[in-house]
Structure 1
Amino acid sequence: MNDFPKLETERLILDKITMDDIPQIVAYLQNKVFSDHTSNIPHPYRKEDAEFWLKLSAEAFKNRKGFTFAIRDKKGKLLGAIGLHDEGSDKAELGYWMGIPNWNKGYVTEAAKAIIDYGFRELNFNKIFATYFQYNPASGKVLGKIGMKKEALLKQHLKKNGKYYDIPMYSIFKEDID
């Protein structure tokens, strides 16, 4: 697999993030809510952060360890991003973000369903899981809508701003969709 895959859903195109996307990525991720609600998006978010992320994403794809897709509308406008990151043992972690103007429109749910299907059918994962901060219940609702079930509460799993957080982990298995 040398060419980055392109997936289509009813309303979306999921494809490679490019350098042309950097201004929009920075514009979306400038909002502190992304830093507050994720474990790995810094604030302030700068052009250099986006360039570094694209470099890491390209390396991960080349090594078949990460598959980070742009979420675009059918006209090609970047709305957010979603990806699967190979954690070994035939499992992957699902992660995503969506630009605030695009919240509450079902885009993440639609994209995540396509990515999960791709992960099981094309990448042969057995398990796909995701975690979120409990103070971001919208993310937990998305996980439920895509068929994931709560598997565990990881006690004091992440440290952010000097505080430890319990993190829910949701999972779906290949056998759940076959």
Structure 2
Amino acid sequence: MNRFPTLETERLILSQLEEKDIPFIVEYLQHRIYSDLTSNIPYPYTENDARFWLTISQEAFDEQIGYTFAIRNKEGQIIGAIGLHDREDNKAELGYWMAIPYWNKGYVTEAAKAIVGFGFKEMGINKIFATHFPHNPASGKIMEKIGMEQEAVLRQHVKKDGEYHDLVMYAIFNHRD
């Protein structure tokens, strides 16, 4: 794929991250809760963190190993992000975050359904998986809503801020005939 894809759902536009998104990303991710609920968002979150994230997202696309989409409302304003990254063996990892003012409105579920379809149809992925911390059951609910099933609890799987944390892993398969 030469051009970054744009996906549209009923309420959202999923498109490439852009330089103009950086101030919003930094503002949204200033809340400690993002660091507490994810394994890879630091606190405090700086402009350099956002610039680095845009750079590695572009590199992943250029190497055809990952897609990080801005989740935008129909006016084009970024309200979150969602990504699908190839982890070899024909499987990919799904990850996402949503700005706090947009929580509990079904946006992540809507975006995730579109991304899973994209992964199966456009990327030819067989298995899409995602993980969440046990203390973030809302993320697990999203995974269930898009058809994922809990596959495992990965004990002490990540070390963050000097502590080991379990991860709950969900997966969905591309059922091909």
> TM-score scaled to structure 1, two decimals?
0.97
1:4 Cα offset (Å): 0.4
- Following superposition, the deviation at residue 161 of structure 1 comes to 2.2
Give the corresponding residue for 1:74: 74
Segments of structure 2 that go 5 or more residues without pairing to the other structure are: none
Q: Deviations over 1:121-142 (max 9, x none)?
A: 0000000000000101110100
C-alpha distance in 1 between matches for 2:44 and 2:159: 19
Could you tell me which residue of structure 2 aligns to residue 87 of structure 1? 87
- For residue 25 of structure 2, give the secondary structure of its aligned residue in structure 1: helix
- What is the aligned partner in structure 1 of residue 130 from structure 2? 130
- CA–CA separation in structure 2 for the residues paired with 1:47 and 1:164: 27
Q: Distance in 1 between matches of 2:15 and 2:164?
A: 35
Q: Structure 1: which 4+ aligned runs deviate by more than 4 Å?
A: none
Distance 1:141 1:132 in 2: 10
Structure-1 residue corresponding to 2:56: 56
> Would you say 1:99 and 2:93 are equivalent positions?
no
Deviation at 1:48, TM superposition (A): 0.6
Aligned to 1:113: 113
* Matched AA of 1:153: V
State the TM-score, normalized to the length of structure 2: 0.98
One-letter amino acid of the counterpart of residue 15, structure 2: D
Q: Write the distance in 2 (CA, Å) between the matches of 1:32 and 1:18.
A: 24
Compute the displacement of 1:59 (Å): 0.3
- Report the residue type matching 2:142 in the other structure: V
Q: Indicate the RMSD between aligned Cα atoms, in angstroms.
A: 1.0
Any stretches of 5+ residues in structure 1 without a counterpart? none
Q: Which residue in 1 is equivalent to 2:162?
A: 162
Give CA-to-partner distance per residue, 1:17-73, whole Å, 9 cap, x none. 100000000000011111111111111101110000000000000001110000001
Distance in 1 (CA, whole Å) between partners of 2:71 and 2:91 is: 22
One-letter amino acid of the structure 2 residue matched with residue 59 of structure 1? E
Q: Percent of pairs identical after alignment?
A: 63
Equivalent in the alignment of 1:16 = 16
2:35 is matched by which residue type in structure 1? S
Give the AA of the match of 1:90: N
Indicate the residue corresponding to 1:40 in structure 2.
40
Letter of the structure 2 residue corresponding to residue 71 of structure 1: I
The reply on whether 1:27 has 2:27 as its aligned counterpart is yes
Q: What do the CA deviations read for 1:68-127 (whole angstroms, capped 9, x no partner)?
A: 000001111111000001000000000000000000000000000000000000000000
